[in-house]
A and B are shown apart, each in its own frame.
Chain A
Amino acid sequence: MRLKLEKRPAPSTFMLIATPIASVLLTMLIGVIVFDAIGIQGERAVIDIFLTPILASYKWQDVAVKAAPLIIIALGLSIGNRAQIWNIGAEGQYVLGALAAAGVGIAAGPDAPSATLILMILAGILGGAAWAAIPAFLKTRWDVNEILSSLMLTYVSFQVLGYLVGGPWQDPNGRNFPATAPLPEQLTLPILFQGTTVHLGVAVAVILPFVFWLLMSKSVFGFQIRVVGSAPHAARHGGFDAKQTIWMALLIGGGMAGLAGALEFTGSLKAVNLGFPSGYGFTAIIVAFLGRLHPIGCLIAGIVLAITYVGGQVAQTTVHIPNSTAGIFQAMMLFFILASDILIRYRLRIVRPAGARA
């Protein structure tokens, strides 16, 4: 008896939606088994990581605030991934976005009018896009692999961050701690619900997926992205410019990451320090895949991943698992989702050795 793959006549919509859900459930199940095996209360850990953030209403604001950057970055990345353009340097673009926003804020001074905030957000988008423009330029000009160049630039961005917050942009009143000065009140994002930490960026993260959905499903640009990713030669035949697609995919990916960085800075952290890069740019890659590169999928997947972040912190105090555990769960989800990709185009059939086989 063996397993055989059979191509489906058309991709299965059921599998497209069912497999991400199954991936999350399987990850939870394996989590229970593995944690029990290594002597941690498995059920408790999994409940804390996946369910407590949903059941305990006071955790919702944490989930929302963490989900916002993940969703926004993943939206941009999923466009690139659809076109088979692999920007894995969103973390660096996220940092550059925050730095650009901070730069505008510092230049405007502590008494700047609150309208400056709009400029800061725009600067964030431009900053992220500019950082992503480097791999775009190198790829379109000399065919330099964008996976490696975008990732290498992430490491460079950490040094740019270290230099700026420890040097020219350092808070003069900060007791020599490498960080920018806290933003004045009028330059921080408005809070949506009084008494919570839920800022305007969360609303942006809820609205943008629908904008992207419209863009990807109805516009010529969305069609172009899908063709380039699926059949690059056909795209050229259809009159779509490959270089333009690369530029657009990377600029949008970088711009979104930069936007996320600027929102995180102006909405949550209020200052940029060495701890600013927290891995959102990498986790967003998982969000994009778990969301099946669909804008609404990214919205849902961003919330799921945010739950594991928040839940991971809960489990750290309740069952004393290390900080890195959430990362394992996230990677496991990605493995399962990638492993089950094949079920969309193929069906698994069990073949019994036929007696008639020659």
Chain B
Amino acid sequence: MQTPPRLDLSGITKRFPGVLANDQVSFAVQPGEIHALLGENGAGKSTLVKMIYGIMQPDAGAIAWNGQRVTIANPKAARKLGIGMVFQHFSLFEAMTVLENIALGMDAKIPARDLEAKILSVMQQYGLKLEPHRIVSTLSVGERQRIEIVRALLLNPNLLIMDEPTSVLTPQEVEQLFVVLRQLASEGCSILYISHKLHEIKALCDTATILRGGKLVDTCDPAVETSRSMAEKMIGGSLKDITRSAGRALGTAKLVVQGLSVAKDGPFDVALKDISFSVKAGEIFGIAGVAGNGQNALLLALSGETPSTSPNAIQIDNRPIATLTAKQRRLAGMASVPEERNGHAAVPDFSLSDNAILTARDRMGMVSGGMVNARSAKTYAGEVIAAFSVKATGPGAMADSLSGGNLQKFIMGREIMQKPQVLVVSQPTWGVDAGAAAAIHQALVDLAATGSAIVVISQDLDELLSLCDTLAVINEGKLSKPIPVPGANIEEIGLLMGGIHGENHSETAELAHAS
């Protein structure tokens, strides 16, 4: 008799208001198998694993575990079965120690000393380095992920769910992670690996299940498929390439940043140290780096949300603007799009029309005598919706009624249609489906073609390599030398992302702090 699959899903369905998140999804994960769950943002991957981990309940369908039908009422029940999970947005507690964080993931009360010994043995077994008494907020993203992994491994899982684990790691850290995962699989633990990064799946996984719009499209062998064929199954169409007008020439330096430094704003913040770069008219300049290395502070410093004290630190067309406020910088021709859509780039419970007022009111003439001209705001929002094919009921639609991709298109459109001289965007396609991402990339390329200077801050190295003329790497608030993208060496960029001193550096800092 054949051994039953470790996990067997049949007909799993989950409905949210207005969306069918999972529609009759059925597939099986075998013991010791590394099984990829592949799909675009919004395809229903996260919902599906939340049901496997007991955070949500399916509306219909059955889950079988080692051949037995089970109901997984909550995460505790999942852990009891032997299901562990590493979350995409880590479920960690910043102000607590590594040890406390791990204890919170245990269902039984284990004396702190025993727990520490167990942690050390697991770390030894899998070559994971962690200091149990460090406060989480002082750790790098890679270290934080290790906490989650150790926490899951302490329960001796038979199935480990990894939700987009590599989106925040350097290429080197990704390699280390794969070593751990392969070791686990060889010991018989099944791994459900959620990602949309195709080359990783080809490198790591035995099987891939592809979801699109909540439905299962295909279960295939990634070794046989090409990246392109899997991508096309994922998006349900053929991939569009960015079109650039041939033979374009870059102009003179438009945006010049010179010795820009910003102090830490809070305990979990990163200071910017002496940042210098320049972007020519028509150039797309990329800033790569692992999350939490000062990208956010850089965007705020450029957009004017944290003005600087030395006027010449930022210049547009030789005009010093670093002491100007966000409003004044917009009038001077600088537009920006921060990483977080909801609550930063846009107000979720405002209409698109009101969201147009938020950043376009001065440049697009929506204000006279302290009063807002609602009609011109509505017209402008309507134009953005039409030009960027935003799926919305109209300018009166609430921002939070749009999907992530559509809202991002609206936000990008709102800035681009103001024809800014300089546009700074952070994570322009974060959590956005492939169609919207392609449209956004094309719009950035088109804006550059009109002679604007564009800065793209992104953690997605692939995105930067396909989009930018030049890129630099930010690490611990410091920016590397610019690297021309044609002929860039990915190994070198990866090392820069990890920082030359990397973790050693933060350890020394902590020692200095303790003494």
Contacts and interface: CB of A to CB of B under 8 A. Distances in A.
Direct contact of A and B (CB under 8 A): yes
28 contacts: A6-B17, A9-B18, A10-B401, A11-B349, A218-B371, A218-B372, A218-B374, A219-B370, A220-B367, A223-B357, A227-B347, A227-B350, A227-B358, A233-B338, A233-B340, A234-B343, A234-B346, A234-B347, A234-B358, A236-B326, A237-B326, A237-B358, A238-B359, A239-B328, A241-B325, A345-B349, A354-B59, A357-B58
A16 to B, nearest CB: 13
A237 B344 contact: yes
Interface string B349-373: 1100010011101100001001110
B265 to A, nearest CB: 12
A356 interface: yes
B63 interface: yes
A239 B343 contact: no
- Pick the most buried of A7, A345, A356, A358: most chain B CB atoms within 10 A of its CB: A358
Nearest to B351: A10
B132 interface: no
B74 interface: no
Nearest to A230: B347
A11 B349 CA distance: 8
A354 B58 CA distance: 10
B327 interface: yes
Given A231-B348, A237-B345, A358 B330 contact: no
B398 A10 contact: yes
A358 B343 contact: no
A198 B373 CA distance: 39
B427 to A, nearest CB: 15
Interface string A330-358: 00000000000000010000000010111
- Pick the most buried of A218, A226, A238: most chain B CB atoms within 10 A of its CB: A238
Interface in A218-252: 218-221, 223, 226-227, 230-231, 233-234, 236-239, 241
B60 interface: yes
B253 interface: no
A356 B60 contact: yes
A9 B351 CA distance: 11
Contacts of A221: 370
A7 B60 CA distance: 21
B71 interface: yes
Contacts of B510: none
A220 B304 CA distance: 20
Contacts of A345: 349
Given A354-B59, A357-B60, 6 more contacts: A11-B349, A220-B371, A223-B372, A227-B347, A231-B348, A237-B358
Contacts of B342: 231
A226 B372 CA distance: 13
A11 B325 CA distance: 33
B343 A233 contact: yes
Interface string B55-89: 00111111100000001000000000000000000
A6 B18 CA distance: 10
A6 B349 CA distance: 16
Interface in B366-390: 367, 370-372, 374
B303 interface: yes
A231 B358 CA distance: 11
Contacts of B357: 223
A231 B370 contact: no
Contacts of A220: 361, 367, 370-372
B398 A9 contact: yes
A239 B347 contact: no
Nearest to B358: A238
Nearest to A4: B17
B305 interface: yes
Nearest to B336: A237
A345 B336 CA distance: 30
A236 B305 contact: yes
Interface string A6-38: 110111000000000000000000000000000
A237 B370 contact: no
B325 A356 contact: no
A215 to B, nearest CB: 10
- Pick the most buried of A9, A233, A234: most chain B CB atoms within 10 A of its CB: A234
Contact of B372 (A219, A231, A358): A219
Given A227-B358, A358-B71, A239 B60 contact: no
A233 B344 CA distance: 5
A223 B330 contact: no
A356 B350 CA distance: 38
B328 to A, nearest CB: 8
Given A9-B398, A220-B370, A223-B354, A237 B60 contact: no
A94 to B, nearest CB: 29
Contacts of B57: 357-358
A221 B303 CA distance: 22
Interface string A307-333: 000000000000000000000000000
Contact of B401 (A9, A219, A241, A357): A9
Contacts of B62: 358
A237 B372 contact: no
Given A219-B372, A231-B348, A238 B326 contact: yes
Nearest to A5: B17
B17 A234 contact: no
Contacts of A218: 371-372, 374
A53 B367 CA distance: 45
B231 to A, nearest CB: 32
A357 B372 CA distance: 51
Interface string A49-75: 000000000000000000000000000
Contact of A230 (B58, B349, B361, B401): B349
Interface string B272-309: 00000000000000000000000000000001110000
Contacts of B348: 230-231
Nearest to B62: A358
A10 B351 CA distance: 9
Interface in B82-135: none
Nearest to B58: A358
Contacts of A241: 325
A10 B303 CA distance: 31
Contacts of B59: 354, 356-357
A32 B133 CA distance: 60
Contacts of B328: 239
Contacts of A6: 17
Contacts of A238: 326, 358-359
Contacts of B371: 218-220
B55 to A, nearest CB: 14
B306 to A, nearest CB: 9
Contacts of A226: 350
A221 B371 CA distance: 8
A356 to B, nearest CB: 4
A218 B347 CA distance: 18
Given A7-B17, A220-B371, A223-B357, A358 B347 contact: no
Contacts of B362: 239
A312 to B, nearest CB: 37
